[in-house]
Amino acid sequence: MAHLILRRLLLAIPLLFIVSVLTFVLTNLGPGDPAATILGNSATPESIAALNHQLGLDRSIAVQYWNWLHAALSGDLGTSVVTSQSVGQAISQRLGATLSLVMLSTLVAVVIGVGLGLVSALRGGILGRVTDILSIGGYVIPNFWLGLLLVYFFSVSLGWLPATGYVSPADSIGEWIRSMVLPVLALSVMGITGVAKQTRDALREVMSREFITALRADGFPEWQIILRHGLRNAAIPIVTVTGVLFIGMFGGTVLIESVFVVPGIGGLAVTSAQTGDFQSLQGVAVVFGLVVVGANLAVDLLYGWFNPKVRVQ
């Protein structure tokens, strides 16, 4: 297992390098001029050129990237050219809100999805067809549109939950939960349907194997067969779809955080792109890359736990 972890970490190095290079090049080649944004509409070409020189933005992309990489390797993601705030500080202030949203949404998707898939696999019939329909609907319905509907129904019409905003759990656990209910529901619907369908298909395939028949013939209780043997053998595809879901939810936070005014790094990415704040956008991309690496490593570790053969590969 240690060899597997080391190999995955070594593979993460070129992945993060490629992500950082692509992000840096694309953001610098894109439209927009941070200096012009900072100085405003009254800026002259001379003042813009002077500020670009002061910020080092008139240098070649290769030189700018090398300077950024040298600082990043020491833990410094740079300073925002728009707000003059440390990029690392800006991300750390917003990371908690995004992690709360993504982790809660993943938890809700897995718990409800596995439950629906389990019932669908064992009952079948109309419940299985309903799961298929919900799966298609979950992928088709945009999460930001669903979020607006949830706001209208639960906040505007009923007044049960806050429409926007985020409360840190350090301030109030109860208010934190209330502020997370609607964005978590909006973000997790697609995940619920995906996990439910994957669980149903994987469990039905496992329950049709010969060793399940043998366990039943030996008199094992049905619940024990399902939970200890059926779900464990069906866990690999469920873990796979959960890992993909977790990574995909980070991308989904960009719109969800905008709808519910959650101060997360998705909103920081949008603001940075709009203002031409390339340093902050670069930092967000690196954090997303680290999330992908961490999620893939967690999936590999779960593979090894559910299937001991993976540990020796």
pLDDT in tens, the chain (313 residues): 566 667 767 777 777 788 788 877 777 766 666 666 666 666 677 777 776 676 666 677 788 788 778 878 887 777 777 777 888 888 888 888 888 888 899 899 888 888 888 887 777 667 667 766 766 666 677 777 888 888 888 888 888 888 888 888 888 888 888 888 899 988 888 888 888 888 888 888 887 777 777 877 877 777 777 777 777 777 778 888 888 888 888 877 888 888 888 888 888 888 887 777 777 888 888 888 888 777 777 777 776 666 655 554 5
Half-sphere exposure of residue 181: CA atoms within 13 angstroms, side-chain side: 14
Distance of CA 14 to the CA centre of its chain: 21
Q: Measuring CA to CA, how many Å separate 210 from each of 121, 123, 237?
A: 17, 20, 20
Q: Measuring CA to CA, how many Å separate 112 from each of 49, 174, 288, 293?
A: 56, 22, 26, 26
Dist CA 48 CA 38 (whole Å): 9
| Helix axis angle, 126-140 to 173-207, nearest 10° | 130
Q: What is the pLDDT of residue 23?
A: 77
Dist CA 185 CA 169 (whole Å): 18
Q: What is the pLDDT of residue 312?
A: 47
Give the three-state DSSP class for 43: coil
Q: Measuring CA to CA, how many Å separate 229 from each of 62, 73, 115, 118, 224?
A: 55, 46, 16, 13, 7
Distance of CA 148 to the CA centre of its chain: 20
CB atoms within 10 A of CB 112: 17
The values of phi and psi at residue 234, to 5°, are -90, 0
Architecture (CATH level 2) of domain 87-312: Orthogonal Bundle (1.10)
* Domain ranges (residues) in the chain: 2-72, 87-312
- pTM: predicted TM-score of the whole model, two decimal places: 0.77
Q: What is the pLDDT of residue 146?
A: 82
